[in-house]
Structure 1
Amino acid sequence: MIPLLLKEVEGMGCAVEAERDKLKLLDPRPITDEIRSLLRKHKPEILKMFEREKLAKQHGWIAFPYGEAFEKQISRDTSVFIFLEDDGTYTVWRATWSDGAAPVKESTIIERVDFETALERANNYVQWFQNNRWIQKKG
């Protein structure tokens, strides 16, 4: 719901950002009363989305727009992703590519959990992966 609402606002020529505990319209163009009402109604969830983006970025993740996904590249050809599911939960997935558009190896690390759990598990996997690679290179 939140990503769709923010995309609709963007389509009207505006962007939304968090300023402490408030929502701020950037380059405000006229928006409908219905959209303004929806922004007010979903303000806590929108602010939470911005908090999640900030937290993920602090841990080195790239945030896709509207909190729909986060990515961290952990090697030249491997990335870990945190995806927002339609039901509001998150799934952590990792994939390895080799010259093609489709991954040659992929796995789900955890699925349909809250954001904090997903970020923690994703960070733990990244740490494990980096430690494992260091041990393999050393040995």
Structure 2
Amino acid sequence: MSGVNKVILVGHLGKDPEARQLDGGVSVVSFPLATSEIFNKEGRKVEQTEWHNIVMWRGLADVAAKFLQKGKLVYIEGRLRTRSFEDKEGIKKYTTEVVAENFTLLGRKTDFETGTNHGKLSARAGESFGANSALPDEQSY
């Protein structure tokens, strides 16, 4: 039996997406996303914020770079990925990211220009977006 690696988040962007072009013209964006929960602790409300590192690839990254910005509320579906790297001192470090497979920009219609979508903008890797643009399938990297 295979496992399930599925993440669903609704939160606010902590900063504008950082867009990069890798070798071969592959687009990638990354940004922090804040999710908050409010709970009752000893008779008072307490808000706890969790920060998530989000990564989007190829066509989805292009759409995200165009429409997402700091403070916007967004729904994201994706999967967790942990990778390792060496820092400047040569010490091996690990980071866990959410590799987004689709997103929906939430909020008022005036927050974005979509033409026909009323109140939300959705983008998914591998599906068409808008009237004239398409998002290519995400491939393994």
TM-score by length of 2: 0.25
TM-score by length of 1: 0.26
